[in-house]
Amino acid sequence: MAGALALDQHAFDTSPDPVGETVLARTRAISDGALRAKAHAIDEGHYPLEIMRDFARVGALSAHLKSAGGNFGLAIDAMRAGARQCGSTGFLMWCHGVFGLYLDHSENCGLADRMLPPHAAGETFGGTALSNPMKSFAGIEPMALKAGRVPGGYRVTGTLPWVSHIGRGQYCGAIAQVVDASGAPSHEIMFVLRCDEPVELRQCPVFSGMEGTSTWGLRLADVRIDDADLIADPAKPFIAKIRAAFILLQLGMGLGVTEGAIDSMLEVESVLGHVNQYLDNRPDEIAGELDELAGRVAKLAETPFETSTDYLIDVLDARAQASELSLRSTQSALLHQGARGYLMSAAPQRRVREAHFVAIVTPAIKHLRSEMTRLSKVAQPAGALT
Amino acid sequence: MNAGTAIPAVIEPTDGLGPWRRYICRVCGLIYDEAEGDVDSGIAPGTRFDDIPDDWECPICNVTKADFDPLVPRAAVSAPQAATPVSRTSGVVIVGAGTAGWGAAEAIRALDPATPITVVTACSGDVYYKPELSVALTRGATPSSLRRETGAQAAARLGVRLMKETVAVGLSPASGTLRTTRGTVRFSDLVLAQGARSAAPACLPAHLCWRVNDLAAWSGLHAALSCGPQRVAIVGAGMVGCELAEDLAGAGHDVTLIGIEELPLLAMLPRPAAERLAAGFSKIGVRFLGGRAVGKVERIDERLRLTLASGETVEADQIVAATGLATEPRLARSGGLAFDRGIVVDPKTMRTSAEHVYALGDCVTIGGAPCRFVEPIRGQAEAIANAILKRDHSGYAHRAPVIRLKTRSTPVVIEGAPSTAGEWRVLQDDADALVMEQWAGGARVARLAA
Ligand SMILES: Cc1cc2nc3c(=O)[nH]c(=O)nc-3n(C[C@H](O)[C@H](O)[C@H](O)COP(=O)(O)OP(=O)(O)OC[C@H]3O[C@@H](n4cnc5c(N)ncnc54)[C@H](O)[C@@H]3O)c2cc1C
Ligand SMILES: Cc1cc2nc3c(=O)[nH]c(=O)nc-3n(C[C@H](O)[C@H](O)[C@H](O)COP(=O)(O)OP(=O)(O)OC[C@H]3O[C@@H](n4cnc5c(N)ncnc54)[C@H](O)[C@@H]3O)c2cc1C
């Protein structure tokens, strides 16, 4: 693979880097070089594992893990650097990073010992299928996967419509609802789903973006999951613990896509500034909002496992703001660039579609808002009129 | 058609004194409308304010006529068509639709019919007088009788856009944006009127204990108490706890009032006054357990059990937590606003630490202290309206409001600003009345009558 060869020529320095400056500088070098050059090909369907491998090698995909000091701010900044050039790759960085988060906090140490080092190093790849369970826990939709207990493990059945960053030889974190013999639900389990036979990978219809994220439909018919592959049993307390961190990490996508949009606006400032001055959402305004948001995110990233409701609302608020800002800034970048930005190969129109994804990937803006409403309500004793 | 109850025709004045007038209680904001009278107190519709007997009392807070001001009618404002969307990109945004939020909207409208106003509120926006909530059960009030106007009606009357059931979650003063659970709203000026929330400790969990701080919560308690006399434990013997205790007892419930101090309201009242209050309570059958802290609350079958720190237990059907209020800091902090137990405001302009952001009502602190009463709100709203519209105005002048405890068994009135350091002197203490004065630094700072 070309990327693997290219990697060897980089001769990466692996000296200690406590504040992450080197990690970030190297991540930016890859983003602004190889990734920028491939962004259009990725938009058309190229799955950039070679870039992901490069990112892993410089520490861009593991900064938030305990082994690297649990630096969530750095992980978000690295993702931001990737998403600035290519939103799809920013999303892949999140998928990969969040799977690492699951293993890092799992009490199944044997599983983490086996899987986490090669995952963090970019020798193996995998993502996350938690969209459905996250919405299910928020009461938005029923759980898609059901599990039954068997000796030494579970048997899982169900279908998930789309899961990214998977393929044969890859894996993802998933959650199933355990039902007893009578069909009554008891609790949920979280496990590593290995995307090999007999798990069926089904071709997805063509999406308007994210085509290079290796997104598949998953069908499981009585697939055996060994106890050794359990991340958490029961899953709910585990999810409660990592939920804020899971959402916080996504901020890298929204911040990066917005930053890319500002780049596109500034790119044409010298030639089109005399007419672009009449547009709303000018680069300086967007940059002001972006800085303010990024500052709040950096602060939140210092305590990703805080459990207070206020903290969670702060994270959800930042995530929603990042979605809205991505939508507004990418739209504006397209208007700033005009026809040149509207070319199929141009970044501004691609970013509009990337921003749409930032806004609809779980938690979508609407889910964030309904969740913030729920969290803001003061409970009342039962039997009350509501 | 059914022959239902006849709706009384609106009486027109025939006394030659002009149209009916309205008067507002400075203390609690109740409005006496001459057309409607105060039937519950025997004042017939069509009674001029001047003709009301001098011993008539405000039906909510028991003050007399002297504490009422004429309600100056405000210039009629033509409301924009309901279908006309108000611009999202400018105008005043108000967070909260309590007395303070609606009060700010009214004050701005009174000065300017055109400024776009958006009210963002987590509740329904329905208009009610919160002081009534602690005297309502005895009077047989219902949620609908307490609701004076729906949010939609108030919005139409004032020509404002109401975003109800919408929570403000974040704000950025620099970009003039307020983030809400129904989208981001832009403002040229922002008014925070978010009130304060129950500050009940974790041992009084919200799913087991009522907090009577808004109409929705009161309605829940009202429904829970509707099936006949019940045992109610009220935790916290401050103003709200004391008033609710009397109100619930008056409505036929078996009430236990639990206070951390040995007498009710001892944190605010001098001992002789608190003793009078306690004596009044025992006369009306409220059991007062003083000097007790609550340890935990559990549900045991259909009952609740309160275990006190002393180990004693109290069984109840309903528990009310009345342990005080606190301003929720998250929203203000998200915008980097100075916060010290409440949103810090300039005492004259009511401006927060950020330009174009104002605050009033229960959510603010002035000089480091909150002042959670109705009376200051009107003046605060006027100062904000004038500041926003850049009119010449002397600003808000804060002074301690007259405090009236609406307990009919022992009404208590405090004027001035009692301090923890001052010395109370008894002027009169007999079967008729207790009158005391507090002196600090050689000056009289407060006067109390009970
Ligand atoms: C390109 C792409 C890649 C993605 N990659 C991933 C990934 O890697 N991992 C992942 O977990 N997710 C992934 N997703 C899913 C994504 O995160 C969102 O969950 C998805 O877009 C659906 O969100 P929505 O806003 O459409 O859901 P909503 O509009 O909230 O729809 C609600 C959901 O509830 C269901 N529903 C509602 N009522 C009922 C009912 N009564 N019974 C049954 N179902 C009901 C609907 O079918 C719908 O799925 C991906 C999506 C896309 C488009
Ligand atoms: C039982 C009781 C009896 C009282 N009796 C008296 C009395 O006799 N005399 C007296 O002077 N005072 C009395 N008070 C105090 C008085 O009622 C209050 O000081 C006054 O009502 C406060 O009004 P406010 O508008 O500031 O707050 P609130 O009425 O609490 O209004 C706050 C508003 O903000 C909204 N809100 C909060 N957070 C958000 C958010 N994040 N986003 C959007 N909206 C939000 C709420 O939904 C609500 O609409 C009493 C209080 C109580 C509880």
Q: Are B219 and B317 in the same domain?
A: yes
- CB of A1 within 8 Å of a chain B CB? The answer is no
* pLDDT (0 to 100) of residue A117: 97
Provide the β-strand partners of residue B24: B31, B69
Cβ(A94)–Cβ(A249) under 8 Å? yes
CATH number of the domain located at residue range(s) A9-125 in this protein: 1.10.540.10
Phi, psi angle pair for B276, to nearest 5°: -60, -45
Is B397's pLDDT higher than 60?
A: yes
Q: Are B265 and B410 in the same domain?
A: no
Which of the four pLDDT bands, split at 50, 70 and 90, describes residue B57?
confident
Phi, psi angle pair for B349, to nearest 5°: -95, -10
- CB of A292 within 8 Å of a chain B CB? The answer is yes
Assess if residue B395 is contained within a domain. no
- What are the sequence ranges of the domains in chain A? 9-125, 127-235, 250-376
How crowded is residue A198: how many other Cβ atoms within 10 Å of its Cβ? Answer: 10
Per residue in A177-203, pLDDT (tens digit) is: 999 988 899 999 999 999 999 999 999
- Give the number of beta-carbon pairs within 8 Å between A and B: 76
Q: Which residues of B touch A291 (CB under 8 A)?
A: none
* pLDDT (0 to 100) of residue B123: 96
Does the beta carbon of A129 lie inside 6 Å of ligand 1?
A: yes
Stretch B98-122: mean pLDDT, rounded? Answer: 97
pLDDT tens sequence for chain A (386 residues): 333 434 444 445 555 565 688 999 999 999 999 999 999 999 999 999 999 999 999 999 999 999 999 999 999 999 999 999 999 999 999 999 999 999 999 999 999 999 999 999 999 999 999 999 999 998 888 899 999 999 999 999 999 989 999 999 999 999 999 999 888 999 999 999 999 999 999 998 899 999 999 999 999 999 999 999 999 999 999 999 999 999 999 999 999 999 999 999 999 988 888 899 999 999 999 999 999 999 999 999 999 999 999 999 999 999 999 999 999 999 999 999 999 999 999 999 999 999 999 999 999 999 999 999 999 998 889 854 33
**Ligand 2, atom 22, residue with closest C-alpha:** B362
Q: Are B261 and B295 in the same domain?
A: yes
Q: Are B302 and B334 in the same domain?
A: no
CA gap B374, B26 in Å, rounded: 8
**What ligand is nearest to the CA atom of residue B197?**
2
Q: Are B96 and B20 in the same domain?
A: no
**Ligand 2, atom 2, residue with closest C-alpha:** B131
Contact assignment for A320 to B179 by CB distance below 8 Å: yes
Q: Are B191 and B44 in the same domain?
A: no
Q: Are B118 and B173 in the same domain?
A: yes
- The tokens for B88 are 């999202």
Examine the fold and report which residue of B304, B324, B344 is the final residue of a domain before the chain moves on: B324
Q: Are B176 and B282 in the same domain?
A: no
For the residues of A303-346, what is the DSSP string, one character each? Answer: -TT---HHHHHHHHHHHHHHHHHHHHHHHHHHHHHTHHHHSTT-
Assess if residue B140 is contained within a domain. yes
The CATH number of the domain holding residue B232 is 3.50.50.60
* pLDDT (0 to 100) of residue B85: 34
Number of domains in chain B: 4
Give chain B's radius of gyration (CA, Å).
23
List CB contacts of A274: < 8 A, sequence separation 6 or more.
Answer: none
* pLDDT (0 to 100) of residue B334: 95
Per residue in B307-339, pLDDT (tens digit) is: 999 999 999 999 999 999 999 999 999 999 999
List CB contacts of A8: < 8 A, sequence separation 6 or more.
Answer: none
B94: amino acid identity, one letter: I
Is B65's pLDDT higher than 90?
A: no
Is B83's pLDDT higher than 60?
A: no
Assess if residue B338 is contained within a domain. yes
Phi, psi angle pair for B147, to nearest 5°: -80, 115
* pLDDT (0 to 100) of residue B420: 78
Burial zone of A346 (CB within 10 Å; 0-12 exposed, 13-18 middle, 19+ buried) = middle
Stretch B198-218: mean pLDDT, rounded? Answer: 95
CATH number of the domain located at residue range(s) A250-376 in this protein: 1.20.140.10
CATH number of the domain located at residue range(s) A127-235 in this protein: 2.40.110.10
Provide the β-strand partners of residue B171: B178
Q: How far is B114 from chain A (nearest CA, A)?
A: 24
**What ligand is nearest to the CA atom of residue B374?**
2
How crowded is residue B442: how many other Cβ atoms within 10 Å of its Cβ? Answer: 5
Cβ(A336)–Cβ(A276) under 8 Å? yes
Burial zone of B205 (CB within 10 Å; 0-12 exposed, 13-18 middle, 19+ buried) = middle
Question: Range of B100's domain?
Answer: 91-196+327-388
* Atom of ligand 1 lying closest to residue A127 CA: 8
Q: How far is B182 from chain A (nearest CA, A)?
A: 7
Assess if residue B83 is contained within a domain. no
Cβ(A284)–Cβ(A356) under 8 Å? no
Report the interhelical angle of A236-267 vs A283-300 (nearest 10°): 160
* pLDDT (0 to 100) of residue A9: 41
Q: How far is A255 from chain B (nearest CA, A)?
A: 17
DSSP state of A35: I
Q: How far is the CA of B82 from the centre of ligand 2 (A)?
A: 27
How crowded is residue B273: how many other Cβ atoms within 10 Å of its Cβ? Answer: 27
Interface test with B, best of A369, A370, A371, A374 (most B CBs within 10 A): A369
Assess if residue B84 is contained within a domain. no
* Atom of ligand 1 lying closest to residue A357 CA: 53
* CB-closest option in B175, B197, B334 to A289: B175
- The overall average pLDDT reported for chain B is 91
Cβ(B121)–Cβ(B151) under 8 Å? yes
- The tokens for B185 are 């709203």
Q: Which residues of B touch A321 (CB under 8 A)?
A: 170, 179, 184
Q: Do domains A127-235 and A250-376 have the same CATH topology?
A: no
Assess if residue B398 is contained within a domain. no
Instruction: Please give the span between the terminal C-alpha atoms of chain B, in angstroms, as a whole number.
Output: 53
Q: Is B449 helix (H, G, I), strand (E, B) or coil?
A: strand
Q: Give residue for tokens 């105060």.
A: B38
Assess if residue B125 is contained within a domain. yes
Q: Which residues of A touch B186 (CB under 8 A)?
A: none
* pLDDT (0 to 100) of residue B71: 83
- The tokens for A314 are 């702060």
Q: Are B436 and B358 in the same domain?
A: no
* pLDDT (0 to 100) of residue B27: 67
Q: Are B256 and B274 in the same domain?
A: yes
Q: How far is A367 from chain B (nearest CA, A)?
A: 10
Q: Are B344 and B312 in the same domain?
A: no
Assess if residue B303 is contained within a domain. yes
Q: Are B188 and B332 in the same domain?
A: yes
The CATH number of the domain holding residue B69 is 2.20.28.10
CA gap B130, B276 in Å, rounded: 26
CA gap A143, A159 in Å, rounded: 10
